[in-house]
Chains A and B, each alone.
Chain A
Amino acid sequence: MAVPAAGQLDAPIVELAVASTTGSRVWARLRTHPSAIVGIAILALYVTATLLGPLVFRWSPVHQSLADSFLPASVSHPLGTDDLGRDELVRLLFGARYTLLLGFAAVAIGLAIGVPMGAVSGYFGGGVDLLSQRVTDIVLAFPNILLALALVAVLGVGLTNVIIALAITSIPIFVRLTRASALSIREQPYVEAARALGVPSVAILFRHVIPNSLAPVIVQASLQLGAAILLAAALGFLGLGVQAPTPEWGTMLGSSRNYIFSDPNLATFPGLAIFGAVLAFNLVGDGLRDALDPRLR
C-alpha cells in the first residue's frame, strides 16, 4: 500500500477533528433544522425581553394606580393596564424571569436527582434498581398536574414550593431514560475495560455511564422545560402557584378571568406569552432529537 502524501492525509484528519466534537456536530445540525431555528429565535426574543425590558420601560410591574385601571393600549401603556392600573406589558416582561426561573429550576433539580438515580439503578441493578423502579412507578401513577396540585395543597403556595412540586413530577422520566441507557452501556467493552483496570464504580458512573446516556436526556430536558412551564402556569392560573402581586403569567391569566367579558386583552397576552415559551422549548426539543439521532428524522 502506497503511503499517502502529507497533503492528502491532512484534509480528512482536519474534517474528522471538527466532526468528532459532539457539541459542534449537533450544533451544525441544529442550525439547519427549521423548527429548531424558530424555537431558538423565540427563546432569544424572550431572553432579550427579560434583560432589556426593565431598562426600556420605567414603570414598576407592581405599581398600582386605580385611576389608570383598564386603560386601552396607548403610547405610554402599549398593551394597556390591568384591574389595578398596572402596566400590562411591563408585567409581562417581568413575568418572563419567573416563568424561566420556574422551568429551569424544576428541570435542573429533576436532572440532578433523576440522572444519577437512573444511572445507579441501571448500572448496579439488583435491589437498588428494584426499589427505584417501584418508586418511579408510583410517582408516574399520578397524573402530573394532580401530583403537583396535591403537593402545593399541603406544602403551601409560593415560588419555592411550586419548584419542589414541579421537580418531583419531572424526576421519574429522567430516571427511566438514564436507566434504559445505563442498562446497555454497562455491557459495552469500554466499561468492561475500565472495570478491569480497577476504576472505582463511582468514577465509571460519572465518566462513562452518565456522559454516554445523556443524548435522550437532553432532548427530554428541553421538552420537560415546556411541560414544567405549562404546569407552573396552570398552578398559578388556579391561584395555587406563585402569588399575586408577583407578575407570573399563569397567575396573571388566572386573575384576568374576572374581566374576561369587559377586557379580554388581559387574558390574551399572558396566555400568548406562556404559549410562546412552551412552543419554543418543544421546537428546540424536536430539533435536538433529530440532531442527536439523525436516523429518526
Chain B
Amino acid sequence: MITYVVRRLLVAIPTLVGVATVVFSLLRLLPGDPAVVIAGPQATAADVNRIRHQLGLTQPIWQQYLGFMGRLAHGDLGISIRTGASVLEEIFARAPFTAVLAFTSLLIAITIGVTAGVIASTRRNTGTDLGISGGAVFGASMPTYWLGLMLIIVFAVHLRVLPAAGSDRGPISLVLPAITLALFSTGLIARQTRSAMLEVLGQDFVRTARAKGAARTAVLIRHALRNALLPIVTVIGLQFGTLLGGAVLTESIFGWPGVGRLLVDSIGSRDYPVVQGVVLLLSVSFIAINLITDLMYAYIDPRIRYS
C-alpha cells in the first residue's frame, strides 16, 4: 500500500507543476502590457510603474517564471493589487466558508444520491425508478444559478422562511446555498449508483447471498453496494471539482463570502494576483481530492494496489 501511495504522489508532481505553469502564463495572456491593463484606464504612469515592479514584470520572462515558482514553493502567492494584503491571507480568510458550503453540499449529494440510486436499482423499470431516474436527469440539467434564484423567489420572497443572501444568520443561511450547489451532483451520483448497482445485482454472489437467507437490506448494502462502490466513489471524487467550480456561482448568487465570490470580484476589479491565487488553490485542492479518491480505490479494491 505504501509503495502505491508514494507512486501516486510522484505522478501528481508533474501535474502540479503544469497547473502552476498555466496559472503563471495567465497573466502573460493578457492582451498588451499587463501592468497597463491591471492599473486600469484612470491610472497614472507612476501607478503603472508601481504595478510593473510589484509584479516583477521588468525581469526577463524565465526569471519571472523561476521567481514565481520559487515563491510558490514557500507558499507566497503574491500581493493583492486592490487591498495590498497577501493573497494567501485573503484566500484563507474566505476558505472556511467555501469548505463548509462544499462539504455540506457533498454530504447532501452523497446521502440523497446513493440512497435514491439504490432504491431505483431495486425497483428497476417501475414508477419509482422512472421518477428517480427522471429526477436525476433533471437535476443534472438544471443551471445552478437559475435554481438558486428560483429558491430565493420561493423561500425568501414568497414564504419568507429563509434568508435570501449572506452568512450572518448561522446554519440557516447555509440551507439554500447548500441545496442549490448539491442538486447537480446529487443527480449524477444517483445515476451512477443506479447503473453500478444494476450491474452487481445481476451477479451470482448476490443470488447466493439471497438464497442462503440473508436479510434483504444486508444483501443490498453488504454484498451489492460494497461491490458497486468503485464507480460511485469515482463519480463522488469528480463531483468535488464540480462543487468547487459550482461554489463560484452559488456564492455569487447568495452573497456567500467564500473563495468563489472572491474570484468573481477579483476578475471584476482586475486583481489578477488574487485571480491566479484562487484558481491555483482550487485546482490544487481538486488534484488533492482526486489523489485521495485514487487512494480510496486502492483501499476498497486490493487488486488496484498490486497492478
Contacts and interface: CB of A to CB of B under 8 A. Distances in A.
B141 interface: yes
A278 B143 contact: yes
A138 interface: yes
Interface in A242-271: 250, 253-254, 256-257, 260-261, 264, 267-268, 270-271
B267 A145 contact: no
Contact of B27 (A154, A278, A282): A154
B137 A275 contact: no
A158 to B, nearest CB: 12
Contacts of A64: none
A238 interface: yes
Nearest to B140: A282
Contacts of A137: 14-15, 18
Contact of B279 (A146, A226, A278): A146
B19 A141 contact: yes
Interface in A104-151: 134-135, 137-138, 141-147, 149-151
B244 interface: yes
Nearest to A223: B140
B137 A271 contact: no
Contacts of A226: 141
B22 A138 contact: yes
A141 B287 contact: yes
Interface size class of chain B, counting residues whose CB lies under 8 Å from the partner chain: 35 or more
Contact of A260 (B18, B149, B252, B286): B149
B242 A143 contact: yes
Interface in A47-64: none
A214 interface: no
A233 interface: yes
A138 B18 contact: yes
Contacts of A142: 19, 22, 279, 283, 286
A286 interface: yes
Contacts of B242: 143-144
A274 B282 CA distance: 27
Given A156-B31, A257-B149, A267-B153, A234 B282 contact: no
Contacts of A279: 137-138, 141
Interface size class of chain A, counting residues whose CB lies under 8 Å from the partner chain: 35 or more
B157 interface: yes
A160 interface: no
Nearest to B20: A138
Given A138-B22, A141-B286, A154-B27, A264 B153 contact: yes
Contact of A253 (B26, B27, B141, B149): B149
- Is the contact region of chain B dominated by helix, strand, or loop, or is it mixed? helix
Contacts of A35: 137
B150 interface: yes
B220 to A, nearest CB: 22
Interface string A5-25: 000000000000000000000
A217 interface: no
Nearest to B143: A274
Interface string B224-241: 000000000000000001
Contacts of B137: 35, 279, 282-283, 286
Given A268-B150, A275-B142, A282-B140, 10 more contacts: A134-B18, A141-B287, A141-B290, A149-B279, A150-B23, A238-B264, A239-B268, A240-B267, A253-B143, A282-B141
15 contacts: A134-B18, A138-B22, A141-B15, A142-B19, A143-B245, A143-B283, A144-B242, A150-B275, A156-B31, A233-B145, A257-B149, A257-B253, A264-B153, A270-B146, A286-B137
Interface of A: 35, 134-135, 137-138, 141-147, 149-151, 153-156, 226, 230, 233-234, 237-240, 250, 253-254, 256-257, 260-261, 264, 267-268, 270-272, 274-275, 278-279, 282-283, 286, 296
Which 10 A/B pairs are nearest by Cβ-Cβ distance?
A: A271-B146, A143-B245, A138-B18, A145-B245, A279-B141, A143-B241, A278-B141, A154-B29, A153-B267, A264-B153
Interface of B: 14-15, 18-19, 22-23, 26-27, 29-31, 137-138, 140-146, 149-150, 152-153, 157, 195, 241-242, 244-246, 248-249, 252-253, 263-264, 267-268, 272, 275, 279, 282-283, 286-287, 290
